[in-house]
Structure 1
């Protein structure tokens, strides 16, 4: 069980959350505002921090920013609690480095599951880090340590730059050598309805999807026929939440928000993406439109295969390789293009 720091200014909600966590076996310390929470975290380092977003004085976003700037607390998982009315601001917390969020009102068991999940993911990351460091130490013992260190840092920087090259020309066009793409069909299975009613449904589902995608760090969300395509730049991945994991969680969040009886399919893939800037000569507005390419075409074919097979989420083999320790998989299939694809059923425990 974990040592949890609960930061919540509402006495009633703090009591309910604390009671649920203690009942689940966690050790809980409480703080009634952000300043007290930061002080408590520095006094005794918690294993997980659960923090409300909208608090007087210091908001949850500011708490996350302070924690991530503190070397002693930078890697402590943080779960944000936010009301539905705050959704347009949610991305600020995720960008600052939060690991997860729950929307109020939430069930006590959801909070306990979120804590178990972030602890499990952080343990996997720490194990992988220790394993990689062990290998570096062994190599360093065989060679001159100082020279190897300089070579390793230089090579790592070159590899990162080569993988996540992003260039924009003077007109605003964007070329990503490697990006993550999420393609979602939000309207599948909607029964015929009067135009006004259908328009309302489309507007609602589009807004919810865009909020979710931007929350998890999408850089571009663009229409693709009746579907949506979100593009995630790899060069903005954070140490706490890799870009592939954010894409996976965005796909799961979209799937979870969809009505059970409606077809609602998502495909995730990784590869090169290009966008061209479109300017309105009259108004001067500058936006982007997606350039059809191999990566987007493959994602579209996977989404269609998912719809045919009754899946909610489909992933390419390239994407699965990046998230294999975080995702649980189901069935496998082949798209009409001949590309293999796999069903994603959830997050690994």
Structure 2
């Protein structure tokens, strides 16, 4: 019997690797011959490159870049055979700033562009995956493109300054000197949101406040991105205003499509393809997935749903084991999950559930595996 574990992390308590180890420990307790295959899951935010490199034995390539406020840093990208993985949070992430430094009018994606440029310059790279979660920026990816050779000019023909507050000064976009390998390298963007570029559900309104934007800033940033959308359509023939996912990472989703010819892909789908999960699913009997909290929001592009849909293509049983089950989780049965379990053995407070998450998870998994394995072996023997 084989079990495939593909679980998101339990935010604040367990990493995706610890969930895999918990399944292995539960199998040891059961004491029967069960093989456990673990696939770590990354969501495109901070730590994505580390997770993928640890699992697939890739290497980290260091390069010089700048942080969201233009200060020099040492950044990196991952390299697995001919695929480079760039994580936006490495250079342009919110965690690069102190709380008082957070201001999306001033922050720029230029540093991420520097990392992309380093990846494009690497002779082994033929494909680029860009994870754009966790950004501190709201400049529509203009800074990123400027690092790759874009000239964003004002009415006097001068280059605009970096940062979200200057986007409305753009009068002309000149892409003649952009990196030549942008046309030769396939670029996939890990994007788990479907927000448009502008409006009440757009980049500025939804994600601006967590990056330090006041209501007044949100209004200005939204107007600036609307201006950018119009310039992109006028100068480049790119209509990104209502493109699902264009609002990801402060409009960087739109910028990568328009300036770099990238495609926006559901993050979990890219990760699962990278780990060749379809090949593994052919030979397993049970799939275990999970996350910190499963509720109605899980339906909107979370890892659990992506994993379940893949597993159902092969007719596999899927069990979701989560830290907590919230309102509306029952709606997820229709997406291919056969059973849900919370790891909490009784009513407990959040602090205790965090501290004892690993032991609670192992106990729950042991019960699941005992029941499933018994039925599986009986069915196999009778068959």
> TM-score normalised to the size of structure 1?
0.30
Greater RCO between the two (CA within 8 Å, min separation 6)?
2
> TM-score normalised to the size of structure 2?
0.27
Identify, as 1 or 2, the structure richer in strand. Answer: 1
